[in-house]
Amino acid sequence: MSLIRHFSRALIGLTLLSASAAHAAAPRCHIAWSHYTGWEPVGYIQDSGIAARWGKKMGVDLQFTLINDYIESVNQYTAGSFDGVTVTNMDGLTIPAVGGVDTTVLVVGDFSNGNDAILVKSADNKASVHSLKSKPVKLVELSVSHYLLARALDKNGMAERDLSVVNTSDADLGGLIAAAADGDAFVTWNPIVMTALQQPGVVNVFDSAQIPGEIIDTIMVRTDADDACKRAVTGAWYEAMGQMSQGGAKTQQALSSMAAQAGGSEAEFQAQLRTTRMFYEPKQAAEFSRSQQLKDTMRFVAKFSFDHGLYGNGASDETFIGIAYPDGSVWGNADFVKLRFDATYMQMAADGKL
């Protein structure tokens, strides 16, 4: 009996070691994220158990890690510390892609639809984009705020030479707006915009709702990431999207959780969602990825990026980076494709084939 017991224990030990080894061998699927209305679902995915469930289902070690500094999260992804990252279309192009990291837009989550705005302090509440002429405009230089300003000027027959850009930390913008004098101008994003517009005399002269579909929030991954990783990330995202949009107690729980992790009230988070065009349905996101509008937007983004030196000294023009689209077309340098819009996994989610 003693030998049988020892033999049984040995078998149990071997089984446990095998299970542990199998778990350790699961392909890494680590995604960095940072706080923003459209990316708060990622924190919910991690904390609610959705990530663990999809990781187990796909046989990968799926984890979403919060990095409090947005640019640092993108830099860490570019350096290889993560397999994916929550990032805007512009920053995905100008940081990892320009850095030579072949990157795929796996999920198109939303686009800013009023979250980003140009604000002017105006005693008579009659300011416009033309009010910016010859004025210093405070913003985070070379960010989507800077891009928004460039698009606003272009749409109003103006150019950056008509004003001066003052690089300002986003941490300082709220206080500067609160203390603004008549004529002072700023470009920023929510929740700073929401708070600023509650102050007397602060006027929204242009916002991202006027360039819909251009400031896009995504989850990007390394193009050579494991297929199971891509499936797991996509599946987890759309499970969260379903919970956010289905209504009832589950939606209430999800939104409350996201608001808390964002550091605000549920009412504030709901207000920010109203200026964020979420693609709750994967079919909608896949269709957007295939649209001519996206191609046009990326041309605007590429030109802005080149004109402002974000491609570096080696680039001769805005076609320096090749950008691939779901229809197989490439805009830019076909020999240096480093950013790829791929609707495959969003479409699989839409078809229930993940």
How do residues 274-293 score in pLDDT, each as one tens digit? 999 999 999 999 999 999 99
Contact yes or no for 168/139 (Cβ under 8 A): yes
How do residues 57-79 score in pLDDT, each as one tens digit? 999 999 999 998 888 999 999 99
Q: What does DSSP say about strands 116-121 and 185-189: parallel, antiparallel, or unpaired?
A: antiparallel
DSSP string, 145-202: HHHHHHHHHHHTT--GGGSEEEE--HHHHHHHHHTPPTT-EEEEETTHHHHHTTSTTE
Residue spans per domain, the chain: 23-109+216-350, 116-210
Contact yes or no for 173/188 (Cβ under 8 A): yes
Check: pTM over 0.85? Answer yes or no: yes
Is a pLDDT exceeding 50 seen at residue 10?
A: no
Average pLDDT score over residue span 187-201: 91
Do the first three CATH levels of 23-109+216-350 and 116-210 match, i.e. the same topology? Answer: yes
3-state SS assignment for residue 300: helix
Q: 184 φ, ψ to 5°?
A: -65, 145
Looking at residue 323, its amino acid is I
Confidence of residue 19 (pLDDT cuts 50, 70, 90): very low
Q: What is the per-residue pLDDT for 49?
A: 97
CA distance 151 to 116: 12
**Residue matched to tokens 């996509």:** 234
Is a pLDDT exceeding 80 seen at residue 226?
A: yes
Q: What is the per-residue pLDDT for 170?
A: 85
CATH no., domain 116-210: 3.40.190.10
Q: For all residues of the chain together, what is the average pLDDT?
A: 92
Confidence of residue 24 (pLDDT cuts 50, 70, 90): low
Name 128's Cβ contacts closer than 8 Å, sequence gap at least 6.
156, 205
CA distance 159 to 72: 30
Closest CA to 102 of 219, 241, 256, 225: 225
Average pLDDT score over residue span 132-154: 94
Per-residue b or e along 182-211, where b marks 16 or more CB atoms closer than 10 Å to that residue's CB: eebbbbbbbbbbbebeeeeebbebbbbbbb
Cβ neighbours, 10 Å, residue 35: 17
Q: Is the domain covering 23-109+216-350 a CATH 3.40.190.10 domain?
A: yes
Is a pLDDT exceeding 80 seen at residue 119?
A: yes
